[in-house]
A and B are shown apart, each in its own frame.
Chain A
Amino acid sequence: MSFSAFLFYVLAVILLASAVRVVSARQPVHAALSLVLAFFTMAALWITLGAEFLGLALVVIYVGAVMVLFLFVLMMLDVRQTDQSPRWRLHLVPALVVGAVMLAEIVLLIVNGTRTKTESLETSASMENTRELGELLFEDYLYSLELVAVLLLVGMIAAIVLTHRQSRFAKRQEPAEQNAVRRDDRLRIVSMQAETETEDDTVHSSEKREH
């Protein structure tokens, strides 16, 4: 067994174990962390296959940004341990069906795809992966990429519009107005005679002290 094969099996075992942990963990934060580990191991697997750009991008985007936001939300919601026992059976049948369909798809892909794909994998491993991917995306498939980008932009705008819909009652700061405030808006300086202590005052204050 070569070193790369050994590496593959070690990574595969970690990947499967963490993936199982994602669905079996009772604590949602633990599940999310297992998902992080699964992404990380997946990235390592891709890098051993020579797809270094994909691997690094997976970590930067999914581990570095998406999962951080996931954890953020989980911590804000303060979800305690979910009790899985009663609901477990309810979800069993749909879960099995979805799982079976996904498994069938992957098996089909492997059976049909292996013979044609191995060649391209080997050539790409020797070449500069990132550059090749960039050329493919931004030259051959430029229009489809632009379409995807526009789609994402629309999704983003929709999300922002939906969350800001009820903001009529929300309080917000206007930095421009804050900066535009001058001294005269807040403070009025009155010129007046200097107050001096008269004899009456001293008598009053000494009386007050006695009381």
Chain B
Amino acid sequence: MIQWLADFFGSMGATGLVIWTMIKIVLITLPLPLCVAFLTLAERRVIGAMQSRCGPIRVGPNGILQPFADVLKMLFKEAVVPARANRMLFRFAPFLALVPAVAAWGTMPFSENLWLADLNAGLLYIMMMCSIGVYGIILAGWASNSRYALLGSLRSTAQLISYELAMGFALVGVILLTNTLNLGDIVRNQTGGFLHWHLWPLFPLFVVYFISGIAETNRHPFDMAEGESELVAGFHVEYSGITFALFFLAEYMNMILLSALAATLFLGGWMAPHPIFNQLPLLGDGFLWLALKVAGLLFIFLWVRASFPRYRYDQIMRLGWKIFIPLTLVWIVVVAVAVRWSALFGGGA
């Protein structure tokens, strides 16, 4: 049906193309907040189960309506602007955090022919969007005119910059292996079952990428930026109601984005784990498998949050600079040598 719609709008010329692109944008951006809503519910239920308690179960059957209750509560709360804050930047900062988190989905391939833009430098585009999300955090901290917020945003910025390097190097490994920046080609390079996924030849890079992803999204155990015990809530301490909800939305969207990117780069994206699934109805290569992989990775995000205590700040920096970056650099050399003499490298590549 998608192909039929694409042909229909394609036949209308330039206007049709614009309408079709708009429809695709809406189809990508509308489900995202819904995913975030149920991700928060899943987070509370999963962590609840891990800590032997129920989590939210009162609103709707099994607590399924809890996120909507939360959203309504947020909407009806007053959005306070602190006195002597920089009003314009204070209002602008949540959008600067949210917009890159949404815009990054522009080049994400959902299945063989389902995406917004088939950009040749798609991976670079997503990296770019991830790297400008930090402005929302910096400006929120500075514009609030509060010490807690400023300290939180400084910590978060330093952390983001440090882990972005490790993350970038992890992506370099993928680029070396696939010889392309096009996300669709990267997935197609992993055709033929789970033994061909990049996960195996690039396992250390996958681990570094995922841990850096947790650090990039300021999640446990790297959430120094909002360490409640010392900074109240970090960079968004002065935000209330819907303005806080926007930061929250951006953080969770980034979590989903990083999981989707990890699934695309290392776990074969929309590919089924074995070619045999293509013989079965509905279980062949497609969006279903990407969704399952993303859900699995998101579960690890929640699992980590329930399991680990928070790092000390110097430990975070040491992990990023002295362990991850050297590790990725060494593995990049290994991958480069292996690609050059690919006979040495069986399996995955």
* A interface list, Cβ under 8 A from B: 29, 33, 36, 52-53, 56-57, 59-60, 63-65, 68-69, 71-72, 75-76, 128-130, 173, 175
Q: State the majority secondary structure of interface residues on B.
A: helix
A56 touches B124 (CB 8 A): yes
A36 to B135, CA, bound (A): 10
A76 to B141, CA, bound (A): 12
A29 to B161, CA, bound (A): 19
The interface centre, meaning the residue of A56, A76, A128, A175 with most chain B CB atoms within 10 A of its CB, is A56
**With A68-B138, A72-B154, A72-B157 given, is the CB distance from A128 to B124 under 8 Å?**
no
Closest to B153 in A: A75
A52 touches B120 (CB 8 A): yes
A173 to B317, CA, bound (A): 13
> Contact string, B293-320, partner A, CB cutoff 8 A, digits 1/0?
0000000000000000000001100100
A63 to B314, CA, bound (A): 26
A56 touches B121 (CB 8 A): yes
A68 touches B134 (CB 8 A): yes
In the complex, which residues of chain B have a beta carbon less than 8 angstroms from the beta carbon of A68? Answer: 134-135, 138, 157, 160-161
Q: State the majority secondary structure of interface residues on A.
A: helix
A64 touches B132 (CB 8 A): yes
Q: Which 8 pairs across A and B sit closest by C-beta, in order of nearness?
A: A64-B131, A56-B124, A59-B128, A60-B128, A56-B128, A52-B121, A75-B142, A60-B131
**With A72-B157, A75-B142, A130-B181 given, is the CB distance from A57 to B132 under 8 Å?**
no
Closest to A172 in B: B314
B121 touches A53 (CB 8 A): yes
> Contact string, B160-201, partner A, CB cutoff 8 A, digits 1/0?
110010000000000000000100000000000000000000
> Contact string, B113-131, partner A, CB cutoff 8 A, digits 1/0?
0000001110011011001
In the complex, which residues of chain A have a beta carbon less than 8 angstroms from the beta carbon of B160? Answer: 68
Q: Does chain A have a CB within 8 A of B211?
A: no
The interface centre, meaning the residue of B121, B160, B164, B181 with most chain A CB atoms within 10 A of its CB, is B121
A52 touches B138 (CB 8 A): no
Closest to A52 in B: B121
In the complex, which residues of chain A have a beta carbon less than 8 angstroms from the beta carbon of B225? Answer: none
**A-B residue pairs in contact (CB < 8 Å), sample of 9:** A52-B120, A53-B124, A60-B124, A60-B127, A64-B132, A65-B164, A72-B154, A72-B158, A75-B154
Q: Does chain A have a CB within 8 A of B150?
A: yes
A33 to B138, CA, bound (A): 11
B235–chain A nearest beta-carbon distance, Å: 12
B142 touches A29 (CB 8 A): yes
5 extra interface residue pairs, beta carbon distance < 8 Å, beyond A57-B124, A64-B132, A130-B121: A52-B119, A53-B121, A59-B128, A69-B161, A130-B181
A204–chain B nearest beta-carbon distance, Å: 42
In the complex, which residues of chain A have a beta carbon less than 8 angstroms from the beta carbon of B134? Answer: 64, 68
A76 touches B154 (CB 8 A): yes
A29 to B174, CA, bound (A): 37
Given A64, A129, A175, which contacts B164 in the complex, CB threshold below 8 Å? A64
B128 touches A64 (CB 8 A): yes
In the complex, which residues of chain A have a beta carbon less than 8 angstroms from the beta carbon of B315? Answer: 175
Q: Which of B132-147 contact A (CB under 8 A)?
A: 132, 134-135, 138-139, 141-142
Q: Which of B49-89 contact A (CB under 8 A)?
A: 89
Given B120, B121, B139, B314, which contacts A173 in the complex, CB threshold below 8 Å? B314
A29 to B89, CA, bound (A): 10
A59 to B134, CA, bound (A): 13
Closest to B120 in A: A128
A71 to B236, CA, bound (A): 18
A71 to B132, CA, bound (A): 13
A142–chain B nearest beta-carbon distance, Å: 15
